[in-house]
């Protein structure tokens, strides 16, 4: 079988400054390269604001990243484009395409590509479509959740998302419900392929809970809840803090950073639970299993997701999940021992957590929810999808 040459775009991809940024994309692409048969060029466009906004530490650190790097066997290229934080979203896809096109043309002349791939619907999707048209190549775009639920409905970007979805030769979605949402926007449901996330089962598995708690300096005899995700309104950490006030003695671990951190800390103080909420910040992905195994219940009252990697990783550690009844969760939590789906409401969350604390499902039972998940299977399905598009 001939080697397939693919140029993939992902504005979310880890680097030495932000090692958790899009780590699931990196794991996927490392698995793709490892399986062989694919000549992959990973393009990670970096959006940098103009002066003086570009002096902000968040962006200044990105400027110093190498323009080309080999990470875990994957060739990563980092062209830069100009973005205006907060108000310039409508221009990002075009700016990304303009930054990547000269590079894509040069690489295509050196060794022709067979396919252009985008790992997020916005801004990568419209940029990939423009590059695909310029090189006369088929395009694949993957939808993961917020890229459809937010950018697909935002007046500033919705038309670009829909146009890209209609122009691409193939589409991927991490959940059936997300594919339905894409079709509701006006995309062709028939060309959307379901592509689940992957999992490092050697890393995310049940550990000894007592040892994990000792490592995190947590008491052994009290309930521990954990929430993993950016500290933003969509993830719903405030509802977990409110529920904590109804769960005496329980401790909440919050993993992640974001704009809501100060407000969440203030809320915890106001509700009298600040001494039971631990803000762990951004922790290395390799250390996340320790936190997940230390907890009795994983809680994520999210407003929207495709198929959250955090759900899958928690279940793989044998930790049951409490989340909202959105399509991706309903597709995953098909056994009540694996978790509960409730409204974004403190009482409903507290009741669901209480039920799981009483039931205490065995970790091995909870693990069964994600028994078929692996990065090997994920990579195989992705490559099959790419080949079908390239051969069409």
- CA 228 vs. chain centroid, Å, equals 11
pLDDT digits (tens, 9 = 90+) for 74-104: 999 999 999 888 778 999 999 999 999 999 9
Res 243 pLDDT > 70? yes
Roughly what angle, to the nearest 10 degrees, separates helices 261-270 and 237-244? 20
- pLDDT score recorded for residue 392: 86
b/e 97-128 (16+ beta carbons within 10 angstroms → b): bebbbebbeebbeeeebbbbbbbbbbbbbbbb
Every domain of the chain and the residues it spans: 4-198+374-391, 209-370
What is the distance between the terminal CA atoms of the chain, rounded to a whole angstrom?
16
76: part of which helix (H) or strand (E)?
A: strand 74-77
Tokens of 22: 């899009």
Q: Quick check: 59 pLDDT over 80? A: no
Position with higher pLDDT, 16 vs 130? 130
Percentage above 90 pLDDT, the chain: 90
How distant is the alpha carbon of residue 349 from its chain centre? 23
What is the pLDDT, as a whole number, of residue 63?
A: 81
* Mean pLDDT of the chain, nearest integer: 95
* Calpha distance 115→388 (Å, rounded): 11
Contact assessment for residue 321 and residue 310, using Cβ atoms and an 8 Å cutoff? no
Give the pair of three-digit tokens for residue 33.
């390269």
pLDDT at 87: 78
68-72: average pLDDT? 95
CB 171 within 8 A of CB 192: yes
Tokens for 356? Answer: 């799981």
As a whole number, mean pLDDT of residues 150-177 equals: 97
Say what percent of the chain tops pLDDT 70: 98
Q: pLDDT for 207-233, tens place per residue? A: 999 999 999 999 999 999 999 999 999
309-327, pLDDT tens digit by residue? Answer: 999 999 999 999 999 999 9
330 Cβ contact list (under 8 Å, min separation 6): 177, 341
Tell whether domain 4-198+374-391 is in CATH 3.30.70.1290: no
pLDDT band at 196 (very low <50, low <70, confident <90, very high): very high
**Domain 209-370: what homologous superfamily?**
Glycogen Phosphorylase B; (3.40.50.2000)
Q: What is the mean pLDDT of residues 33-57?
A: 87
Question: pLDDT class for 49, splitting at 50, 70, 90?
Answer: confident
pLDDT of residue 54: 64
Torsion of CA 277, 345, 366, 247, to 10 degrees: 40
Position 62 confidence tier, pLDDT thresholds 50, 70, 90: confident
- Helix, strand, coil in percent for the chain, rounding step 5: 45, 15, 40
CA–CA gap between residue 254 and residue 211 (Å, rounded): 19
Over residues 350-380, the pLDDT tens digits come to 999 999 999 999 999 999 999 999 999 999 9
Cα 148 to chain center, whole Å?
Answer: 13
Q: Work out the average pLDDT over 173-178.
A: 95
d(CA 279, CA 262): 11
pLDDT tier at 55, thresholds 50, 70, 90: low
Question: Tell me, what's the pLDDT at 64?
Answer: 84
Residue 57 reports pLDDT greater than 80: no
């Amino acid at each position: 079988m001939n080697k397939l040459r693919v140029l993939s775009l992902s504005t979310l991809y880890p680097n030495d400054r932000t090692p958790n940024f899009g780590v699931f994309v990196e794991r996927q692409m490392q698995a793709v390269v490892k399986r062989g048969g694919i000549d992959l060029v990973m393009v990670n466009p970096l959006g940098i604001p103009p002066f003086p906004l570009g002096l902000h530490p968040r962006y200044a650190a990105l400027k110093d990243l190498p323009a080309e790097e080999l990470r875990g066997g994957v060739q990563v290229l980092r062209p830069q484009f100009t973005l205006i934080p907060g108000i310039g979203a409508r221009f990002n896809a075009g700016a990304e395409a303009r930054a990547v096109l000269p590079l894509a043309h040069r690489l295509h002349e050196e060794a022709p590509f067979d396919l252009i791939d985008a790992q997020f619907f916005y801004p990568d999707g419209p940029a990939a479509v423009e590059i695909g048209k310029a090189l006369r190549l088929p395009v694949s775009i993957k939808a993961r959740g917020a890229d459809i639920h937010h950018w697909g409905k935002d007046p500033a970007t919705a038309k670009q998302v829909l146009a890209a979805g209609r122009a691409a030769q193939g589409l991927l979605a991490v959940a059936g419900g997300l594919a339905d949402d894409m079709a509701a926007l006006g995309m062709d449901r028939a060309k959307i392929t379901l592509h689940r996330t992957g999992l490092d089962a050697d890393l995310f598995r049940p550990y000894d809970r007592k040892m994990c708690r000792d490592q995190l300096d947590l008491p052994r005899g009290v309930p521990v809840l954990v929430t993993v995700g950016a500290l933003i309104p969509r993830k719903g950490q405030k509802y977990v803090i409110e529920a904590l006030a109804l769960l005496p003695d329980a401790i909440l671990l919050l993993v992640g950073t974001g704009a809501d951190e100060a407000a969440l800390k203030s809320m915890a103080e106001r509700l009298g639970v600040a001494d039971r909420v631990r803000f762990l910040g951004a922790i290395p992905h390799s250390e996340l299993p320790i936190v997940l195994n230390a907890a009795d219940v994983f809680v994520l009252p999210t407003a929207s997701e495709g198929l959250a990697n955090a759900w899958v990783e928690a279940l793989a550690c044998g930790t049951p999940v409490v989340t909202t009844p959105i399509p991706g969760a309903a597709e995953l939590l098909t056994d009540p021992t694996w978790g509960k789906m409730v409204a974004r409401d403190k009482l409903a969350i507290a009741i669901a957590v209480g039920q799981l604390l009483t039931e205490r499902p065995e970790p091995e039972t909870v693990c069964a929810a994600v028994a078929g998940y692996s990065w090997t299977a994920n990579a195989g399905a992705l490559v099959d999808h790419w080949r079908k598009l390239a051969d069409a």
